[in-house]
Amino acid sequence: MKNILTVLTIIFFAVISCKEKDNNFKINFESKPIQIKGSVGNLSAILQTPDLPENEKCPIVIIMHGITSFKERPIFIILADKLQSEGIASIRFDFNGHGESEGEFIDMTVPKEIEDARAVYEYVKSLNFVNGISLLGHSQGGVVASMFGGELKNNIQSIVLMAPAGIIEDASKGGIILGQAFNTNNIPEYIEFNNNKIGSDYIKTAQTLNIYETAAQYEGPVCIIHGTMDELVPYSYGEKYRDIYKNGTLYPIEGENHSFSNDMELATDIAVDFIKSIVKK
């Protein structure tokens, strides 16, 4: 009888212990796919987390790709892996109409992408292991990160802009989108680019984005990384971004192109080192 009581006591305390552990959280070093409801449908995302002891928290970075790109480009995987090794989580996702996310590319606009970013931000805020959020965007994703960051103001820790495509607004007003000319007085239904169709709504909204006015509302630390030989977005647009921010730093990479394909390690190191210097204080 005594042995039975002993066994029951052990089982009882084991159950209590398990219940207590259920109230805690332990994050493992992992990468997992998730779905988030975006502006026009589900967004496909990858949440990458470092090892965290129970009840310990870490910062997270929302990574945003450019137009016609997607979350599995090498540069974004490298960024996520480097952040993870530094104890920083990340979430990278496909905008609507891109990659594995829902929506049609022809219906994509920058304002819709900002709404996608907002949906991911709200998801990240709900994670119980997150203690700070940063934004990182490349090309058009840089425009989205800068404008959304301006809307969020002091609710994020830092912003990294990699070859931010501030040219979008100027070019669309001047009748050019991604090198394709059009009549600004008679905007076509769509413009073809690399087997994709850029819709008229994209062009119309691009002409009235007010990129820099919106972005400048963020007063926290900003890192701008731009190649001096960027063939799609001239280096001067990186300089313009630097000039609008109260706390912005421009990191030029000599001879580098828009995709940072010549020295991706350097570009990603600059981004990760900057984020680490801010969020690990």
- Mean pLDDT, each 10-residue run in order, the chain (281 residues): 40 35 58 95 97 91 98 98 97 98 97 98 96 98 98 96 98 93 95 93 97 98 98 97 98 98 98 96 72
Q: In the structure encoding, which two tokens stand for residue 13, read together? A: 């305390």
For residue 59, CA distances in Å to 86, 146, 219 come to 10, 19, 19
Paired residues of 158 in beta bridges = 134
CATH architecture of residue range(s) 26-279:
3-Layer(aba) Sandwich (3.40)
Helix (H) or strand (E) holding 168, with range, is: helix 167-173
Rounded CA-CA distance 200/223 in Å is: 32
Say what the pLDDT of residue 21 is. Answer: 36
In this predicted structure, what is the pLDDT of residue 11?
36
- Is the full-model pTM beyond 0.85? yes
Q: How far apart are CA 259 and CA 247, in angstroms?
A: 25
